[in-house]
């Protein structure tokens, strides 16, 4: 009886931690030339990460993630073309895959082109 009660307590703690998990990228440096470029990526990427964390599994597909990734690059490239350099795109892909992994998706199926 006591063991069951302790396991239930741990289960509630783990469930609460999983439900309250959000990826914080407020201080992330994307290695853009300007601070404005970093902020442009950060605001758009934050929306995508939030969608990954809150949407149900059938709405997150490799095609959707690839389209959203390309939209981020295109939107930022209007004012900051260095987004297509190796470092910023690497950081964006890394954070998307990390978020997918933390939300129980198979990250190996996403953004592998």
Phi, psi of 105 (to 5 degrees): -100, 155
Report percent pLDDT > 90 for the chain: 37
Look at residue 16 in the predicted model and tell me its pLDDT: 41
List the chain domain ranges: 32-113
| Upper half-sphere CA count for residue 62 (Cβ side, 13 Å) | 8
- Identify whether the C-beta of residue 26 lies closer than 8 Å to the C-beta of residue 95: no
Distance CA 17, CA 6 (A): 17
pLDDT digits (tens, 9 = 90+) for 2-20: 555 555 554 444 444 444 4
Q: How many CB atoms lie within 10 A of CB 96?
A: 23
pTM here is: 0.75
Distance CA 1, CA 40 (A): 54
pLDDT digits (tens, 9 = 90+) for 25-39: 877 788 889 999 999
Average pLDDT over residues 55-61: 73
Does pLDDT of 77 surpass 90?
yes
Does pLDDT of 76 surpass 90?
yes
Look at residue 11 in the predicted model and tell me its pLDDT: 47
Single out the residue of 40, 4, 10 nearest to residue 25, CA to CA.
40
* Average pLDDT of the chain to the nearest whole number: 80
Single out the residue of 47, 43, 19 nearest to residue 32, CA to CA.
43
């Amino acid at each position: 009886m006591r063991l069951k009660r302790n396991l239930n307590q741990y289960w509630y703690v783990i469930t609460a931690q999983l439900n309250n998990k959000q990826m914080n990228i407020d201080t992330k440096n994307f290695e853009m030339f300007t601070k404005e470029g970093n902020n442009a990526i950060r605001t758009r990427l934050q929306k995508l990460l939030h969608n990954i964390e809150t949407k149900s599994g059938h709405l997150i597909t490799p095609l959707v993630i690839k389209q959203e990734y390309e939209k981020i690059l295109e939107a930022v490239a209007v004012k900051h073309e260095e987004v297509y350099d190796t470092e910023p795109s690497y950081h964006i892909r890394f954070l998307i895959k990390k978020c997918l992994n933390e939300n129980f998706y198979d990250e190996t199926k996403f953004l592998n082109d």
